[in-house]
Amino acid sequence: MAAKKVFGSAEASNLVTELRRSFDDGVTRGYEWRVTQLKKLMIICDNHEPEIVAALRDDLGKPELESSVYEVSLLRNSIKLALKQLKNWMAPEKAKTSLTTFPASAEIVSEPLGVVLVISAWNYPFLLSIDPVIGAISAGNAVVLKPSELAPASSALLTKLLEQYLDPSAVRVVEGAVTETSALLEQKWDKIFYTGSSKIGRVIMAAAAKHLTPVVLELGGKSPVVVDSDTDLKVTVRRIIVGKWGCNNGQACISPDYILTTKEYAPKLIDAMKLELEKFYGKNPIESKDMSRIVNSNHFDRLSKLLDEKEVSDKIVYGGEKDRENLKIAPTILLDVPLDSLIMSEEIFGPLLPILTLNNLEESFDVIRSRPKPLAAYLFTHNKKLKERFAATVSAGGIVVNDIAVHLALHTLPFGGVGESGMGAYHGKFSFDAFSHKKAVLYRSLFGDSAVRYPPYSRGKLRLLKALVDSNIFDLFKVLLGLA
């Protein structure tokens, strides 16, 4: 068995040099190359789904349906869209010119940034690796992918599949942990796309700053769910449940983190949740095969600590069972934990759902606004005014009304954070744009030059300039005809 190869600064530097040479040689620029790579990615989705499902089961205990839908199907759609739209996306966009620059024509040309780095996360290891890579390739870049070491089976499978199918002169995978990531971050990239925690997001951006490398940071936060009494309770509860425990058991960046509702409505909400939870996961949810497990013992201990905190452990109204050996924690609902408890201070990223009650629903806006901006904010209501106020005044990466998480699947909406939840966006054409430089191109004629532009400067020239700048054609003629 070969010893694991060292990947340090020298290897990282060589890797970038090699990919840059490929990029400079034009390997990745052509439409054909991009389409070929995308089609190969499609083959991976079509032919290797069982292996992907198996790797996700190993790494996360992810149920087959979640793997198939949230990792493979979403990717397949992403590839399909890129294949269908790539010609459009690559085409220059015409821009309007003004009287000042007349005669001229202008356009905006999308060009690849060069050699880009995609750093992925462990919770949706295939989706969060390949979806950004789809964007990078569509835009014509060479790309290095660094999958998360916390999902080792997925990381190994990604490496195997990408090496097997994609063009190694321009697309590479580097496996590893802190050492390898640090070595990669020392290099000069033309873009870095990172999915992960706010803490590491800062480290990534600081490293990028050394080279003036632009970044997309897809981070997280505590995504709140506001539940109004004027809603369809059963549908609301079902969507919250499947959005929380049905998406990697709460370990997702847009997972409903906590619920805000009125004191009056909370009991109804909790009862409905208990009922539906049992329907979905049986009388002993901790044993259900339809939920992912906790990823590893570190996270298990972290979540345990959140539950065990004084003033929190006595607020459990449902669940709370733990099984460290199998890395399982039952779907757990808590009622009115203190606002300054640990569980309300960090992104939970697990199967615990605090419900906070308020005297009236309006207060929820202030609660949300007093906290860092989350990746998503959810509201369940029939009330049109409430929906409008929520959308207008709650700042988050994205807002979803009357559903959970589905906006992830919509390629026509930009997916990204704001403030602590990140910067930049992707999905659909936004992915293509994220990995492109939009180059402004102005075509001028050598005719039609105005002495006005040049020294020596005079009052007449100044008047003419003023008219040109205002682009008021009547003033312009007045000056030209000496009438002003």
Partner 1 sequence: MEGMKETVEESLREMRETFASGRTRSLKWRKAQIGAIYEMVKDNEDKICSALFQDLGKHSTEAFRDELGVVLRSATVAINSLDKWAVPKHSNLPLLFYPAKGKVISEPYGTVLVLSSWNFPISLSLDPLIGAIAAGNTVLLKSSELSPNASAFLAKTIPAYLDTKAIKVIEGGPDVATILLQHQWDKIFFTGSPKIGRIVMAAAAQHLTPVTLELGGKCPTIVDHHTISKNIKSVVKRIAGGKWGSCSGQACISVDYVLIEKSYASSLIDMLKPTIKSFFGENPKESGCLSKIATKQHVQRLSRLLNDPRVQASIVHGGSIDEEKLYVEPTILLDPPLDSEIMNEEIFGPILPIITVRDIQESIGIIKTKPKPLAIYAFTNDENLKTRILSETSSGSVTFNDVMIQYMCDALPFGGVGESGIGRYHGKYSFDCFSHEKAIMEGSLGMDLEARYPPWNNFKLTFIRLAFREAYFKLILLMLGLKR
Using CB under 8 A, which residues numbered 318 to 357 contact partner 1? Answer: none
H/E element, 297: helix 297-308
Crossing angle (nearest 10°) for helices 31-47 and 152-165: 130
Q: Which is nearer to partner 1, 367 or 401 (CB)?
A: 401
Q: Which is nearer to partner 1, 122 or 189 (CB)?
A: 189
Among 95, 275, 473, 480, binds partner 1 (CB under 8 A): 95
Taking the alpha carbons of 5, 11, 16, 22 in that order, is the dihedral positive or negative? negative
User: Strand (E) positions, 113-187?
Assistant: 115-119, 142-146, 171-173
Q: Which is nearer to partner 1, 217 or 306 (CB)?
A: 217
* Residues 458-477 close enough to bind partner 1 by CB under 8 A: 458, 461-462, 465-466, 469-471
Q: Does 74 bind partner 1 (CB under 8 A)?
A: yes
Write out the two tokens for 265.
Answer: 């409505």
Among 4, 5, 96, 310, binds partner 1 (CB under 8 A): 96
Residue 219 and residue 367 in contact, taking contact as beta carbons nearer than 8 Å? no
Q: Which is nearer to partner 1, 311 or 366 (CB)?
A: 366
Among 359, 455, 474, 482, binds partner 1 (CB under 8 A): 455
End-to-end CA distance of the chain: 88
Please state, as a whole number, how many other Cβ atoms lie within 10 Å of the Cβ of residue 157.
23
Which of 482, 266, 479, 461 minimizes the C-alpha distance to 364?
266
Residues 6 or more apart in contact with residue 109 via CB below 8 angstroms: 92, 438, 439, 441
Which of 341, 338, 321 minimizes the C-alpha distance to 329?
321
Among 177, 209, 275, 480, binds partner 1 (CB under 8 A): 209
Q: Does 119 bind partner 1 (CB under 8 A)?
A: no
* Residues 357-376 close enough to bind partner 1 by CB under 8 A: 369
* Residues 128-187 close enough to bind partner 1 by CB under 8 A: none
Q: Does 442 bind partner 1 (CB under 8 A)?
A: yes
Q: Does 50 bind partner 1 (CB under 8 A)?
A: no
> Which residue has 């015409």 as its token pair?
94
Q: Which of 218, 276, 347, 420 is catalytic?
A: 218
Q: Please tell me the distance from the alpha carbon of residue 60 to that of residue 295, in angstroms, as a whole number.
A: 5
Cβ 407 to partner 1 shortest distance, Å = 4
Per the annotation, the verdict on 218 as an active-site residue is yes
CA 81 to chain centre: 18
* Residues 269-328 close enough to bind partner 1 by CB under 8 A: 280-282, 288, 290
Q: Please tell me the distance from the alpha carbon of residue 329 to that of residue 31, in angstroms, as a whole number.
A: 48
Q: Which is nearer to partner 1, 55 or 240 (CB)?
A: 240
Crossing angle (nearest 10°) for helices 459-470 and 473-480: 160
Write out the two tokens for 258.
Answer: 């906590």
Q: Does 210 bind partner 1 (CB under 8 A)?
A: yes
Q: Please tell me the distance from the alpha carbon of residue 147 to that of residue 130, in angstroms, as a whole number.
A: 10
The site for partner 1, by CB under 8 A, has a size of: 107
Q: Does 60 bind partner 1 (CB under 8 A)?
A: no
Cβ 11 to partner 1 shortest distance, Å = 24
Q: Which is nearer to partner 1, 155 or 261 (CB)?
A: 261
Point out which span in 165-173, 248-256, 293-301, 413-421 binds partner 1 (CB under 8 A): 413-421
- Which residues are registered as beta bridge partners of 329? 322
| DSSP symbol at 313 | G
Write out the two tokens for 191.
Answer: 């873009």
Contact track, partner 1, 214-253, x by CB under 8 A: x--x-x-----------xx--xx-xx-xx---x-------
Q: Which is nearer to partner 1, 354 or 422 (CB)?
A: 422
Among 136, 173, 208, 253, binds partner 1 (CB under 8 A): 208
Cβ 415 to partner 1 shortest distance, Å = 7
Write out the two tokens for 181.
Answer: 């990531």
Which of 144, 147, 85 minimizes the C-alpha distance to 110?
85
Q: Which is nearer to partner 1, 175 or 276 (CB)?
A: 276
> Which residue has 């699947």 as its token pair?
409
Among 326, 412, 473, 480, binds partner 1 (CB under 8 A): 412
Q: Does 402 bind partner 1 (CB under 8 A)?
A: yes
Residues catalogued as catalytic: 218
